[in-house]
Structure 1
């Protein structure tokens, strides 16, 4: 068995010795880690006392993890749910060594591999105004309608102070993403939003984006209803350039 082979190779003894030394306080710890290290020593000592079942030992360690995970992981809730699954599996065993052996041979699936209610940080979409987003962050952010007339608002274009406030809002919007930021703007605005006609004006990307435009990758939406290669992606041509080409073609 895995347990027997590990014992023969001395792996189990080495692991037990390392845990024992940690519980005894051997080895220097950074001052900032003293409190958490003390909590972990206490949890491990209780688990190794032999008074708790394997399931209760997992539950005891989860109490420590519940204090640490929210400050270290974005998906803390999902990780704690995995520990709950581990405790449920451990309830079928009375021996920790037997449980660990079986766990090595047949590890359980993560909660993210099973169907169930989504975790807020992983699967949910949050809709927010820029004002409401102040002070918040998300892993991935999509900024919609980044066009002149919307951001900045056309109501602020004649007022220097109003334009400065719109620039501050754009800064807030662009700094809410931890990992991924996507900025979207429309190719055109329909004159009558709810009318049964196709009258429209072409949009211009926000003047606040133009100075930093080179920092973005620019995937283009397919051209629809234009004279230039309808519904064909123009390789290497940005969205704004497609609009310029479409406008130029009107005079060809």
Structure 2
């Protein structure tokens, strides 16, 4: 991996992925996008193994999370588009690559934690929106600049609406949204704001909470909640009941019940 750094911690149950282009505030090139998808796919492939990854932590190098898409990639796509004669649209293809990245992290059965410092702009804001838990330091500065540049936050918009709701997402889009960490916390863009000096301990506390949850139950819950966004509660009653029954009768449900009765930690909790 050239543009991201990977570190396995908590007995390899946590995969920490660092966007590693600090010289450009971790602007996301196509190569970085592809490396991120490869890293996530590898983490997902470990399910069921003795050292299965259960949590992915995203953060940025050099005091910044991500300054959005790499303009060099877009310039190259512009050039290919100018030379193209019909057929595929190079600009749309580049944009879609990032959309697929966000969709992959949004749909993963693994828990995803984003640690936000410094610049969180454009595509970086999109990645923040798909994380399950988002922690920001007081240095974080959020920006949705696309409309002020004459373009559209095309792949970010759906995830922004999902995270913030239609009203707040639209407000940010039509104002070229600028937020500091406190404002981002107030509207629910981030879940926790901590001083920079406390960020590592805050991450460890969140990881401990996540790793106390059964991995298959966590994945099933994420899937059910994703469906709940587009269905009424009544429409999900039978499916939810079936999911619950499988969990109760499965190995995790049996182990969780036994551990509770025996006043011990379940086997999935790290020692």
Q: Which has the higher strand share?
A: 2
Structure number, greater radius of gyration: 1
Give the TM-score taking structure 1 as reference length: 0.25
TM-score, structure 2 as length reference: 0.23
Higher relative contact order (CA 8 A, sep 6+): 2
